[in-house]
Structure 1
Amino acid sequence: MEKLSEKEKMLRGELYFPSNKVLQQDRAIAKAACQQFNQAPEAQRKSAMKALQSLFAESPNAWIEPTFYCDYGYNIRMGRNFYANHNVVILDAAPVTFGDDVMLAPGVLLSTASHPLDAKRRNKGLETARPITIGNSVWIGMGAKILDGVTIGDNAVIAAGAVVNKDVAADTVVAGVPAVVIRQIDNTSTVSTSVE
């Protein structure tokens, strides 16, 4: 049986040691890119944005406001028209996938990482990671937290301050700690943009 590296274990969702040298180096590269982006003067924001985007697996036309932090970057996939406001954190030990037209308000945190409930394993420094998947046209409100393993359906709205620890159906609004459905959204209506 082939022995897996700690990075392979991480990407497969198995217990792994984040203290592994390769993973430390990967995080250092991401931290340096985030620091460069966050400290760039406004006049250099576009070029700093391109440098940050080079970390990501995919980000066709994302726009991110400083400050922004991620663990690795290479596990992040952004659809078209992705927008993240100030102080967004994405801990991407597992894949974090965003659909098209996703908006993150200030202070949003997405974390794929978790630790064992068993104290002996946790004290050894082990952790696990499970993917987060965000559908199309999702709006995540200010200060919301999305936990590992969560999938959010298309057109959903996550209220400010919500802690999302389970999947969210499409066309729903969730709020609270932990987040629960507070209403359905009717996305069948058409919005007129013409002035009469």
Structure 2
Amino acid sequence: MKEIDMKRNLSEFDKMINEIEYKQNQELMDLLLENKKFMDEYNDLGTTDIKTRKKLLKIMLGYIHESVDILPPFICDYGKNITIDEHSFINHNCTILAEANVIIGKYVRIAPNVSIYTVGHAENPLKRKEGYSYAKKVIIEDNVWIGGNVIILPGVTIGENSIIGAGSVINKSIPKNVVAAGNPCKIIKEIEE
């Protein structure tokens, strides 16, 4: 009973970030639009104004190490839910839909056109019509390399040192020290240390 009462008292944002089913509302739309203003400014800068781009990334994202670079265009919605650790690099045209937390470790390499989704919509068509969604965090551990055009779905963890082949769709977590690829993404081989 206490858990049900707690869920009722949470804002829709708190439900979203805590991976509890939530309903889109004005609070969430306002947060989304606020982030989009910074994102539009970021993408209008192009690639050469690195200093201003890094300043905007620090405003948009929850945490980004100063050594990280993200090449525009870059699309994200709730940027404050994204953390990116040192010496990671994200190439052009990355989309991160971070309704839940997206945690990117150290020395991660993300190729162009990668999409990371934490959000899904209610299966029940009536609830979906009313705007209900769910979110599950995505974790990309240290020293991961993600090839171009990869799609990472809600709730996935990619283990340390792993490589994801271009064009993969990842719907289940991938362990550390493997090469994986395909749709759905499957382990191809282990990486020898």
What is the TM-score with the length of structure 1 in the denominator?
A: 0.91
- Name the amino acid aligned to 2:55: K
Contact 1:37 1:45 survives alignment (8 Å):
no
Within 5 A, what are the aligned runs for 1:113-192? 113-186=119-192, 188=193
Quickly say closer, same or farther: Cα 1:42–1:96, change in 2 above 3 A.
closer
Aligned with 1:121: secondary structure? helix
Within 1, Cα distance between the matches of 2:158 and 2:137? 11
List gaps (5 residues or longer) in structure 1: 189-196
Counterpart of 1:77?
Answer: 83
In structure 1, the residue corresponding to 2:23 is in which secondary structure?
coil
Q: Which residue does the alignment assign to 2:44?
A: 39
Greater per-residue helix proportion = 2
Structure-2 change in CA distance of 1:78 and 1:41 (3 Å): closer
> Contact 2:39–2:60 at 8 Å: present in 1 too?
no
Identical counterparts, % of pairs: 34
TM-score by length of 2: 0.92
Could you list the runs of 5+ residues in structure 2 that have no partner in the other structure?
none
Bigger strand share = 2
Which has the higher mean CA deviation after the structures are superposed, 89-98 or 113-122?
A: 113-122
| Alpha-carbon shift at residue 43 of structure 1 (Å) | 4.3
Q: Is the contact made by 2:57 and 2:64 (CA closer than 8 Å) also made in structure 1?
A: no
Q: Work out whether 1:93 is the aligned partner of 2:99.
A: yes
Q: How many residues align?
A: 186
Coordinate RMSD, CA, aligned: 1.2
Q: SS at 2:64's partner residue?
A: coil
